[in-house]
Amino acid sequence: MLYLLTNDDGIYAKGLSALYQELSKDAECLIVAPEIEQSAVGHAITIFRPLMVRRAHKDGKFLGYAVAGTPADCVKIGIKELAEKPVALVVSGINRGANVGINVLYSGTVSAATEAAIMGVPSLAISLNTLRDADFSFAARFARKMASFIMEHRSMNNVALNVNVPAVPEAEIKGIAVTKQGKAQPTECFEKRVDPRENIYYWLAGEMPSSVSEDTDSDVSALEKGMISITPIYYDLTKYDILAELADKVRTKLR
Amino acid sequence: MLYLLTNDDGIYAKGLSALYQELSKDAECLIVAPEIEQSAVGHAITIFRPLMVRRAHKDGKFLGYAVAGTPADCVKIGIKELAEKPVALVVSGINRGANVGINVLYSGTVSAATEAAIMGVPSLAISLNTLRDADFSFAARFARKMASFIMEHRSMNNVALNVNVPAVPEAEIKGIAVTKQGKAQPTECFEKRVDPRENIYYWLAGEMPSSVSEDTDSDVSALEKGMISITPIYYDLTKYDILAELADKVRTKLR
């Protein structure tokens, strides 16, 4: 059984290494990950230039394939070209920082899992709720549990599970919640600066999502309560609940 | 009233120019668009480097702001920083090539409109179903109609409308369909090559989506029938219909 592991922090990231340590207890694991950090690339794919692919090593041993592209690229090329047998599961992470609320759309980590779902391969994205240098050991053990859980429930082939883990000692975790994607978004602003050649440039700045006015059954709320959140993610952005009303308006009012 | 116009083909693209010509009949239009083509960047945003912003000119006149970033970056910085008054509507396009089915997730054009919806600004993405050098005039006139339609129905502030127009003469258009995002995806493969220094690289190759086994009420099907498709797009990837079943399985089976 072959698992494909990827992330958006890059092939040498600690979170990916922790994932590999745990998951390789259950399955053969192939790492196909970005050559350099790809945070916030969302579901970008590379179509106007070729993908350079390099066999990466660590401590003299083959580590995996480093792809000069995005997490979604890694999943596509990993499944279609680099893996020598069918991929049973794609696991993306462990991300340094939560992927909840609106950030799910910007997340390379989650998009890798979504790409797998599009290709009909079960998948899991896993993130740890801290930006500090982190202890990934509990999240990695939980990823292993989740992987077994998914392999037992094959009906989830077209759904990616987005898992977020609180960055607290295992004993302090308050439980597991199945959640929906929240609507929390960072409060953002742009800082304007001038370079030495008098060109204007801007840094995107902002604070993390707050759960103010967030639904209690969302990923953001669960994480704030100290719970692990599991959100099923699908590749359909249609706003179904307004389809009928919109069709009616278009028929009668679009002149 | 101020409209913000953007695209993913770059600030000098013909489709954007056609859009400006028509929409500026109804509103003041500010162009904030990528400096260079950003197709397939999805919902990527730029967080690890600053955004360079340049006042771009054409024929000696101010054209708009060229941003060295993604379409979603353009919408964020356009609304928050560059526009001198509130933006009433964001229009993204006219894209050369349809944005239907799975391609909606990869599309910079659609992601720009989705970003506007996240920010609470009504929005519209518009694409023409051809990759050839195209006549954008009908699509531009239709975009103007859609813009007025959206401004009359303010309830759609948090929904982006994804519009795809067949590339046929106006008289041959078969009607307008309100649709859902299809599941069609390109049949993809990777072409392996070797560079002059013996490094391996891959080109993503593939054919356009086919509507085989596509639902008849999808964007892909409508376009194939020669109809204009309008799909309401929302920024929530939750797979709601399996939430209860998943919660049950997690409670009983996740050990």
- Could you tell me how many helices (H) and strands (E) chain B has, helices first? 7, 11
Residue A135: how many CB atoms within 10 A of its CB?
Answer: 14
> What average pLDDT score do residues A148-172 get?
91
Task: State the best of A37, A202, A228 to mutate against chain B, taking most chain B CBs within 10 Å.
Answer: A202
**pLDDT-wise least confident of B42-51, B101-110, B243-252:** B42-51
What are the DSSP calls for B7-61, one per residue?
-SS-TT-HHHHHHHHHHTTTSEEEEEEESS--TT-TT----SSPEEEEEEEETTE
- Residues B181-208 have a mean pLDDT of 86
Give the pLDDT band (50/70/90) at residue A42. confident
pLDDT, mean of residues B137-152: 96
Neighbour order of strands in the sheet with A228-233 = A176-178, A228-233, A160-165, A123-128, A87-96, A2-6, A28-34, A61-67, A51-58, B200-207, B187-194
What is the band of A139 on the pLDDT scale with cuts at 50, 70, 90?
very high
Q: Residues A112, A117, A120, A122: what is their CA dihedral angle, to the nearest 10 degrees?
A: 90
Quick check: bond before A94 cis, omega within 30?
A: yes
pLDDT of amino acid A210 = 58
CA separation (Å) from B188 to A53, A77, A118, B169? 18, 10, 12, 31
Q: Which pLDDT does position A215 carry in this prediction?
A: 83
Residue with token string 């771009």: B56
The pLDDT of residue A209 is above 60: no
Q: Using an 8 Å CB-CB cutoff, list chain B residues near A254.
A: 145-146, 149, 176
B153-192 residues touching A, CB cutoff 8 A: 153, 156, 159, 176, 178, 180-181, 183, 185, 188-190, 192
pLDDT above 90 (res A223): yes
Compute the 3-state secondary structure of chain B and give helix, strand, coil in percent, each to the nearest 5: 30, 30, 40
> Can you tell me whether residue B81 is helix, strand or coil?
helix
As a whole number, mean pLDDT of residues A137-165 equals: 92
Q: Which amino acid is at B98?
A: A
Count of CB atoms within 10 A of residue B63's CB? 17
Read off the pLDDT band of A163 (50, 70, 90): very high
Among B93, B231, B99, B227, CA closest to B168: B227
Of B52, B104, B178, the CB nearest to A246: B178
Residues A119/A79, Cβ–Cβ less than 8 Å: yes
Nearest CB to B250: which of A45, A180, A230? A230
Helix (H) or strand (E) holding B107: none
The CA distance from B151 to A83, in Å, is 50
Q: Which two tokens stand for residue A46?
A: 């590379």
Residues 6+ apart with CB under 8 A from B221: B179, B182, B211, B214, B215
Residues of A in contact with B150 (CB under 8 A): none
Above 70 in pLDDT, residue B172? yes
**Cα separation, B72 vs B64, whole angstroms:** 16
What pLDDT is attached to residue B186?
Answer: 74
Percentage of the residues of chain B whose pLDDT score is greater than 70: 97
All structural domains of chain A, each given as residue ranges with its CATH number in brackets, are 2-182+213-253 (3.40.1210.10)
Tokens standing for residue A209: 């999502």
Statement: residue B246 has pLDDT above 90: yes
Query: Strands, E, within chain B: which ranges?
Result: 2-6, 28-34, 51-58, 61-67, 87-96, 123-128, 160-165, 176-178, 187-194, 200-207, 228-233
Lowest mean pLDDT across A3-7, A78-82, A105-109, A177-181: A105-109
Contact (Cβ atoms closer than 8 angstroms) between residue A101 and residue A219: yes
Q: Could you read off the pLDDT of B2-26 as tens digits, one per residue? A: 999 999 999 999 999 999 999 999 9
Say what the pLDDT of residue A208 is: 61
Query: Which residue would you say has higher pLDDT here, B211 or A235?
Result: A235
Residue A67: φ, ψ to 5°: -110, 130
Give B17→chain A minimum CA distance, Å. Answer: 23
B73 vs A contacts (CB less than 8 Å)? 204
pTM: 0.92
* pLDDT(B207) > 80: no
Neighbouring residues of B102: CB distance < 8 A, sequence distance ≥ 6 = A118, A235, B182, B183, B184, B185, B186, B209
In the predicted structure, residue B151 carries a pLDDT above the cut 60? yes
pLDDT at A211 over 60: no
Contacts of B239 in chain A (CB under 8 A): 159, 232-234
Q: Are B201 and A52 within 8 A, CB to CB?
A: yes
The string of DSSP letters for A187-209 reads EEEEEEEE-TTS-EEEEEEEEPP
| Cα B5 versus chain centre, distance | 12
Q: Is the pLDDT of residue A187 over 90?
A: no
The confidence score (pLDDT) of residue A234 equals: 94
A53 is written with which tokens?
A: 């692919």
CA-to-CA separations, A57 to A64, A198, B127, B195, B197, in angstroms, rounded: 7, 43, 44, 21, 20
Q: Please report which helix (H) or strand (E) contains residue A73, including its range.
A: helix A71-77
ipTM: 0.90
Residue B40, pLDDT above cutoff 80 = no
Question: What pLDDT sits at residue B180?
Answer: 96
A233–chain B nearest CA distance, Å: 5
The secondary structure of A78-109, three-state, reads HHHHHCCCCEEEEEEEEEECCCCCCHHHHCHH
Q: Given this model, what pLDDT does residue A156 score?
A: 74
Mean pLDDT of chain A: 92
Per DSSP, B148 falls in state H
pLDDT for B211: 54
Contact A50 B201 (CB under 8 A): yes
* Most confident residue range from B59-68, B131-140, B200-209: B59-68
